[in-house]
Amino acid sequence: MIRVLICDDHVIVRQGIKQILADATDIDLAGEAADGPETLAWVRRASAEGALPHVVLLDIAMPRRDGLDVLKALKDEFPKLPVLMLSTYPDRQYAVRSLKLGAAGYLNKSADSEQMIEAIRKVAAGGLFITPAIAEQLATALGAGAQRPAHESLSHREYQVFRLLAAGRSVGEIAEQLALSPNTVSTYRARILEKTGARNDVELALYAVRQDLHAV
């Protein structure tokens, strides 16, 4: 049996996924988590008990600690644990970034139940699940000399700060949310402005709109 941990802050989403899994005779529910810290605590506890799940289904928009941050932490601590990212955002916004951080696959929540089951089985077997559209994006992103949007050059942490700045959050609010010092956030902000060519937070927000990057 493939044991799956479902990580999503919406109860109705978790219930829907559980129903999908219940229809697959080779997949079983290992547990649930409703936010980032709870996900990490669940996996660490399971590891200590020698009962790691075979697949983690991880939503990107998680409260208290976002899914990409949780993904990075999971891959640092449990590099062989397959993590399948779930998102309502457009694939171009997060798919390639998720894969670069070590995700075993990326699935939009608009996918049908058969595709979700296929994705779980594939990553549980050690494979990589990506759609043809994401494969094309990945090839473009990794291509030598490819012309990429400025935000794709941002590091993981810079991208987190960028999204929050674009959503109108202050340096102090971002520092509190990401557990960083205000000085560190200000340093990231300066790097982001330089890399994107924006002069201030308003221009960053306009850049996000032009690139169709959904705010936090």
**pLDDT by residue for the chain (216 residues), tens digit each?**
999 999 999 999 999 999 999 999 999 999 999 999 999 999 999 999 999 999 999 999 888 888 999 999 999 999 999 999 998 877 777 888 888 899 999 998 888 999 999 999 999 999 999 887 777 777 666 664 556 778 878 888 888 899 889 888 999 999 988 888 999 999 999 999 998 888 898 888 888 888 777 655
**Does domain 150-210 sit in CATH 2.40.430.10?**
no
pTM for the predicted model, two decimal places: 0.76
Domain ranges of the chain: 2-142, 150-210
Class of CATH domain 2-142? alpha beta
Alpha carbon distance 124, 69 (integer Å): 22
DSSP for residue 106? E
